[in-house]
Chains A and B, each alone.
Chain A
Amino acid sequence: MNLTLKIWRQAGPTTKGEMVTYPVTEISEDMSFLEMLDVLNEQLNARGEEPIAFDSDCREGICGMCGLMISGKAHGPEVTTTCQLHMRSFSDGDEITVEPWRADAFPVIKDLVVDRSSFDRIIQAGGFISANTGSAPEAHSVPVPKDKADRAFMAAACIGCGACVAACPNASGMLFMGAKITHLGELPQGQPERDARVVNMVSQHDHEGFGGCTNIGECSSACPKEIPLDVINQLNKDLRGALMRGE
């Protein structure tokens, strides 16, 4: 198929960017979206133009490194990561816009590459259980009810890609944060630090410049791992409780 791509090009963090049009031809429907960009980059390289910078690593939907706004949708038209999106989701003659994640807390580094280290700093603020190596009790000493273990797993499936932030009109990181609060909060091992965790993570989130949640739900719709919106309810409930308990 033949397509018209309009791609965001930006030389560096402080330079002004623009949409640039690139026609591509003879695209196979079996290609992934990123392989289609690989083909374009090979053509650009051959004619002496610098290839388009974009992030990807595992290309099997689990590392969370890739992420593009494709015709206005985070990761494009399917519920999956950009690397797992295939060209059979498009039709011959389509015009496709390709942009980086847009959020104050994710500044653009170059072209389609953004800086998501704000997510790491939210985890540093409390997204962990303090258990030094070697200090752990025997694994079976604390049973975990299966329903709680399953819900913790569901929330832990978050890959930290940032699609929730990119999709949210407020650029809020609440789904990302709610997933971690839920994952650790469902487990008995996560209880001792539960109050401090939510308060510190939310504080860091706001400090990074993410917006607030107004219950729109775009985050959950865009999430390639289908993290449900109720992790945000959990976050709010935990936060309210922690503040009432004087954390």
Chain B
Amino acid sequence: MTTTSTTPDSPLPGLVHGLYAEGEPIRDTKAPTGPIDRRWNTRKFEASLVNPANRRKLSVIIVGTGLAGGAAAATLGEAGYNVKSFCYQDSPRRAHSIAAQGGINAAKNYKEDGDSVYRLFYDTVKGGDYRSRESNVYRLAEVSTNIIDQCVAQGVPFAREYGGLLDNRSFGGVQVSRTFYARGQTGQQLLIGAYQALERQVAAGTVEMFNRHEMLEVVVVDGKARGIIARDLVTGEIETHLADAVVLASGGYGNVFYLSTNAMGSNVTATWRAHRKGAYFGNPCYTQIHPTCIPVAGEHQSKLTLMSESLRNDGRIWVPKNAADCEKDPREIPEEDRDYYLERIYPSFGNLVPRDIASRQAKNVCDEGRGVGPKVGDFRRGVYLDFTDALKRMSAEAVAEKYGNLLDMYQRITGENPYEVPMRIYPAVHYTMGGLWVDYDLQSSIPGLFVTGEANFSDHGANRLGASALMQGLADGYFVLPHTIRDYLAKGPFDKLDESHEAVAEARASVDARVAKLLSINGDRSVDSFHKELGNIMWEYCGMERSEEGLRKAIDLIRGLRDEFWRNVKVLGAADTLNQSLEKAGRVADFLELGELMCIDALHRRESCGGHFRAESQTEDGEALRHDDEFAYVAAWEWGGQDGAPVLHKEDLVYEFVELKQRSYK
């Protein structure tokens, strides 16, 4: 049941801040209690088993084939379940996990440098700015070691030392070396491992693969997720797929910003359609903005490219002290006229401050008019990442050995030689910590609907540490979901369903109607133009710094834009063929709804934490200020209907093991 309350500043009766209602608190009822290092074992033991002979009678749909989805499909196939796997790309091997560069964390302690499961757990809770669940994070750290074993057995070619053992590096400012890597292509190698395991199951007949298929609706029957409606992107056919359980492993929603480091096709549609059917959305405003990306070059830009933040180990970040120097050749700006602002503001961490801080300071100096590179709009959006000192100290060969592939990539994209001219970088949207709310079993608020990897909200809190996304995706896919979903499947097989069931037919009819609607508007504006405008609004008002005033403005702008979209979008072509404009239109329509919820979430969270910086909540010297007394909870949002307001359910975060502290990097 939903209750509402009012505050003095709410212009609409019954709604908080005029924007949302507050519902009953929720709780994660699946997490065991007791000593933290025994909770996962307890849950695995208590979860019901499914007799091997019964598994083939149970069917699971998995949407997405990245690390979380590919690993889950392979593992459930191996266990003998009947799996259907879906991806919108032409092959499961293309999923965007492939683009992760840096590495994957695991508490192997191979360096004997004091690492442990407990330390990885502690670092991850702290890195998430105390906005994640202790039980989940401990489990993640615990299974991290199994992931490395599994991947090595599959033939993932991790970097090795001369003795033949695995190499590790330190990453993301932590003080131990626990990151396993395969040059700058760790995500690719891990994904190919999962992909090969998945294709092996396709050959074995346990997994049926649906490439170039996009999920457009979830089928909920008697309160349980029982299937999906998907469009065959080649023929345009709308298909109904039914099963005993559904897993969404469809990735993050960074493309709501239009420009991000996500793939062109990355989208929120699978999770957003589920949200509209009753799945709560957790912490949608938590977005990670990565500091070392190649800046926007012009209006034509379609996506942004990240360069590993390892560059900050040897590069020095600066802008001119005087705005008048911003157009000069940087090599002609003398030392005394340069502002190495991170080294100045954070003398002890310097260029190695965490991602959120490095990003925000870059924005600040550019807002002051001291950015460099081409003007995009009214400002130059770039800062120098300078290897001149490193080249003097280490020689060009040594720099090339360590960073060659990144510097080459920079040169290919910008046409500038980073061995001669300082590189230009700027922050870009990279990862979304928010996602569908799930319990300890990774089950959403719709029974039978499970959510894994970046698509769920769990584990990273308000900020994700480097090399932890790959860890979470594979932990969920290989080692967590296959145990927790069996507890649910053990109650099945559920009632036989066919496509004529009222709820199934209704879901399908809604997809047909939406496709027809998008094709019939025939307005004046392209889908991309709406997407770009939405991205600009989100970046300006819900990006690196958020304020009450800006967010209210953004909400109004998004509502207006969404209204125009449904009146004036122009989608050419037909429904019964490959139609990329139609695909994009459906995704942008959902981003236009998600964007508003992100702004509402950001507006209600009147504190700064992790990737969420509220201008009104900072310390005297401009650092993020959390308010643990008011906001140590997960914001789980319930869809309030097409014309209704979203409903906030709070899940209190309880810290039994880690002491809450304000982060300081001065």
Contacts and interface: CB of A to CB of B under 8 A. Distances in A.
A137 B149 contact: yes
Interface in A60-89: 60-65, 78, 80, 84, 86, 88
Interface string A97-127: 0000000000001100101110110011101
Interface stretch (B8-16, B156-164, B589-597): B156-164
Interface in B283-319: 297-298, 300-303, 305-306
B580 to A, nearest CB: 6
Residue among A36, A139, A184 with max Cβ neighbours from chain B (10 Å)? A139
Contact of B108 (A29, A39, A139): A139
A139 B99 contact: no
Contact of B203 (A116, A124, A184): A124
Interface residues of B, number: 82
A38 B302 contact: yes
Contact of A51 (B74, B265, B306, B581): B581
Interface in B544-558: none
A175 B195 CA distance: 19
A109 B235 CA distance: 10
Given A63-B94, A149-B158, 9 more contacts: A38-B528, A45-B570, A51-B573, A61-B409, A78-B412, A120-B202, A123-B195, A124-B203, A137-B149
30 contacts: A32-B302, A35-B300, A50-B573, A51-B572, A57-B265, A58-B94, A59-B303, A60-B306, A62-B98, A63-B89, A63-B96, A65-B90, A86-B412, A117-B90, A120-B91, A120-B202, A120-B209, A123-B196, A123-B199, A125-B203, A133-B78, A136-B153, A139-B149, A139-B151, A139-B152, A139-B166, A140-B166, A152-B155, A153-B182, A153-B189
A196 interface: no
B615 interface: no
B90 A28 contact: no
A1 interface: no
A16 interface: no
A86 B578 contact: no
Contacts of B74: 133
A233 to B, nearest CB: 20
Contact of B578 (A34, A57, A113): A113
Nearest to B163: A143
B230 to A, nearest CB: 17
B498 to A, nearest CB: 29
A171 B10 CA distance: 67
B234 A153 contact: no
A244 interface: no
A125 to B, nearest CB: 7
Interface of B: 71, 74-75, 78, 89-96, 98-99, 108, 110, 146, 148-155, 157-166, 182-183, 185, 187-189, 192, 195-197, 199-200, 202-203, 209, 211, 234, 261, 263-265, 297-298, 300-303, 305-306, 409, 412-415, 478-479, 482, 526, 528-529, 570, 572-573, 577-578, 580-581
Given A31-B298, A63-B96, A183 B155 contact: yes
Contacts of B479: 133-134
A140 B211 contact: no
A242 interface: no
A31 B300 contact: yes
Nearest to A153: B157
A156 B160 CA distance: 15
A133 B162 CA distance: 28
Contacts of B580: 51, 53
Given A124-B199, A149-B160, A35 B572 contact: no
A109 B164 contact: no
B165 A140 contact: yes
Nearest to A123: B199
B234 to A, nearest CB: 6
Interface in A154-204: 156-157, 159-160, 183-184, 187, 189-190
B94 A64 contact: yes
A247 B189 CA distance: 29
User: What's the dominant secondary structure at chain A's contact region?
Assistant: loop
A48 interface: yes
A222 B44 CA distance: 50
A246 interface: no
Contacts of B578: 53, 109-110, 113
A116 B153 contact: no
A214 interface: no
A65 to B, nearest CB: 5
Contacts of B152: 136, 139, 142, 189
Nearest to A131: B153
* Size class of the A contact interface (CB-based, 8 Å): 35 or more
A130 interface: yes
Contacts of B99: 58, 60, 62-63
B572 A130 contact: no
B164 A146 contact: yes
Contact of A117 (B91, B203, B572): B91
A124 B203 CA distance: 5
B540 to A, nearest CB: 22
B154 A129 contact: yes
Given A117-B90, A128-B196, A189-B155, A63 B162 contact: no
Given A127-B196, A132-B78, A145-B164, A28 B98 contact: no
Contacts of B158: 149
A153 B301 CA distance: 32
Given A59-B263, A133-B150, A80 B412 contact: yes
Contact of A116 (B91, B155, B302): B91
A31 B415 CA distance: 11
A135 interface: yes
A14 B363 CA distance: 52
A236 B306 CA distance: 39
A42 interface: yes
A19 interface: no
Contact of B577 (A110, A136, A142, A187): A110
A63 B263 contact: yes
A216 interface: no
A80 B409 CA distance: 10
A46 B526 CA distance: 7
A124 B302 contact: no
Contacts of A39: 300
Contacts of B185: 62, 157
Contacts of B300: 28, 30-31, 35-36, 38-39
Contacts of A156: 157, 182, 189, 192
Contact of B161 (A11, A63, A134, A146): A146
A160 B95 CA distance: 13
Contacts of A49: 572
A34 B305 CA distance: 15
A84 B199 CA distance: 28
